[in-house]
Amino acid sequence: MSQPTTGPHFLVAPRDVEGDRAVLRGEDARHLAVVLRARPGSPVSLADGTGTLYRARVRRAGDEVVLDVEAAVAVPVPVPRLTVVHALPRGRKFDDVVQRLSEVGVDRLVPAVSVRTQVRLDEARGDKAVRRWRAVAHAAAKQSRRARALEVPDPVAWAAAFPPGAAGAVLWEEATVPLRAVLPADAADLVLGIGPEGGLTAAEVAAAGLPAATLGPTVLRTETAALVAAAAVLTLRGRLA
């Protein structure tokens, strides 16, 4: 694709793109047709969530929007791939975490339950929260024109969120080593751990299996620490300018 995509950006399922034809359905179709008042010929940017971007134009707008695909390009998986493990904060602060980390380019955000997590989700509340977080990630991917939406899996216990042998760091207010000093230079996958409002216990830091690091002399709110740490890592590793 010689030119970047133009027009409003939407994510579609791979099955909804076939050859030179694509279809938008549901709320996204309503948004494009009714809210944005798209007409035949209007430019639209599409991503299928697997890394392919499409430049398209509206053929027909209605309950479903049919589009003509003009060009496609495969977007490589970014390196390093960044996962943030975030202990659940109070209230709906995690919605903001999802939105901001999606915008900055984090690849995966794992909601975790730690010792000092003050949020306790039963099955019904947990399912509802996960659906909301994924909807926020979807909307943020549209706004920031991502080729792949931020992945948000189901919540897990803190220690279970870190795969064996992972590379990265846990942000901890008692750490003295700067984040940049503990990041490996050549890891294809990096993991950052962020605690809740009450912080992490020493045992939880050890359970993550990653070095503890600091962002500086000030103590940040948990949702601020997540954004600052992710942006720092993505900048240090060349994914952000």
Give yes or no: residues 59 and 85 share one domain. Answer: no
Which of 74, 93, 124 delimits the end of a domain?
A: 74
pLDDT at 34: 95
Domain tally, the chain = 2
For residue 72, which of 49, 55, 50 has the smallest C-alpha distance?
A: 55
Q: What is the CATH classification number for the domain harbouring 15?
A: 2.40.240.20
In which residue are the tokens 């996204």 written? 28
Which CATH number goes with the domain that contains 216?
3.40.1280.10
CA 56 to chain centroid: 25
Q: Mark whether 114 and 18 lie in a shared domain.
A: no
pLDDT of residue 2: 45
Extract the runs of DSSP E, i.e. beta strands, from 61-100.
Answer: 65-74, 81-87
Full domain range(s) for residue 210 = 81-236
Residues of the chain with pLDDT under 50: 1-2
Task: Pick left, alpha or beta for residue 164 (phi over 0 → left; psi -120 to 50 → alpha; otherwise beta).
Answer: beta
The predicted structure's pLDDT at residue 1: 46
pLDDT of residue 123: 74
Residue in 130, 145, 122 with CA at minimum distance from that of residue 94: 130
In the listed set 74, 101, 122, which residue is the last one of a domain according to the structure? 74
Burial track 77-113 (b if 16+ CB lie within 10 A, e otherwise) = ebebebbbbbbbbeeebbbbbbbbbbebbbbbbbbbb
Same domain, 21 and 59: yes
Helices (H) and strands (E) in the chain, counts: 6, 12
What's the pLDDT at 3?
53
Chain length of the chain: 241
Quickly tell me which residue has 């919605």 as its tokens: 95
Q: Are residues 64 and 182 in the same domain?
A: no
Q: Please state the pTM of the whole predicted model.
A: 0.92
**Sign of the torsion angle spanned by Cα atoms 12, 16, 21, 22:** negative
In terms of domains, do 193 and 154 share one? yes
- 109: enclosing H helix or E strand: strand 108-113
Q: In sequence order, which residues have a C-beta less than 8 Å from that of residue 200 and are 6 or more positions away? A: 87, 114, 115, 116, 158, 170, 172, 193
Question: DSSP characters for 34-67?
Answer: IIS---TT-EEEEE-SSSEEEEEEEEE-SSSEEE
Token pair in block for residue 142: 């549209």
